[in-house]
C-alpha cells in the first residue's frame, strides 16, 4: 500500500517551474486521510532541503490546497535517505546525511 506519506508530493506547477518533465513513470492510487486518490508518479532529478540533497526522488504529482501555504510535501522517498530530527517546538525538520553501516 502506498500512502500520502510514502512519496513526496508536488503540484504540477512546482515541478514545471523546476524543469521536471511530467511524463509519468506510472500511475498509482495513494491512500490519504481523504480516501484513495489516483496520482501520476514522476522521478524528480534532485530534491534539496537546506544542505540535504537527494537524487532521483519519486514524487506524486498532485495539487495541494492553497490554504496549506506549502510548495510540496516531503515523503519517505526523500526522508528515508537521511537521519531526520524534528523539533516540534521550533517547527524545524533537519535532515542529516545517514551514516553508512
What domains can be seen in the chain, in order of their start residue?
8-97 (2.40.70.10)
Q: What is the mean pLDDT of the chain?
A: 88
The H or E element spanning position 64 is none
Q: Given pLDDT bands bounded at 50, 70 and 90, which one contains residue 60?
A: very high
For 78-92, what is the mean pLDDT? 94
Tell me the DSSP string of 1-66.
--BTTTSEEE-HHHHHHTT-----SEEEEEEETTEEEEEEEEEEEEEEETTEEEEEEEEEE----G
Asked whether the predicted pLDDT for residue 24 surpasses 90, the reply is no
**What pLDDT, on a 0 to 100 scale, did the predictor assign at position 22?**
80
How sure is the predictor about 31, in pLDDT bands with cuts at 50, 70 and 90? confident
Contacts of 22 (CB under 8 A, 6+ apart): 12, 15, 16, 40, 42, 61
* Rounded Cα–Cα distance for residues 10 and 14 (Å): 6
**pLDDT per residue over 38-55, tens digit each?**
999 999 999 998 889 999
Amino acid at each position: 500500500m502506498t500512502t500520502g506519506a510514502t512519496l513526496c508530493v508536488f503540484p504540477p506547477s512546482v515541478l514545471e517551474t523546476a524543469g521536471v518533465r511530467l511524463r509519468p513513470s506510472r500511475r498509482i492510487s495513494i491512500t490519504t486521510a481523504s480516501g484513495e486518490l489516483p496520482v501520476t508518479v514522476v522521478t524528480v532529478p534532485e530534491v534539496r532541503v537546506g544542505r540535504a540533497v537527494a537524487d532521483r526522488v519519486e514524487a506524486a504529482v498532485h495539487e495541494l490546497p492553497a490554504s496549506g501555504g506549502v510548495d510540496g510535501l516531503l515523503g519517505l522517498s526523500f526522508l528515508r535517505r537521511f537521519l531526520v530530527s524534528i523539533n516540534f517546538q521550533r517547527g524545524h525538520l533537519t535532515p542529516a546525511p545517514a551514516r553508512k553501516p
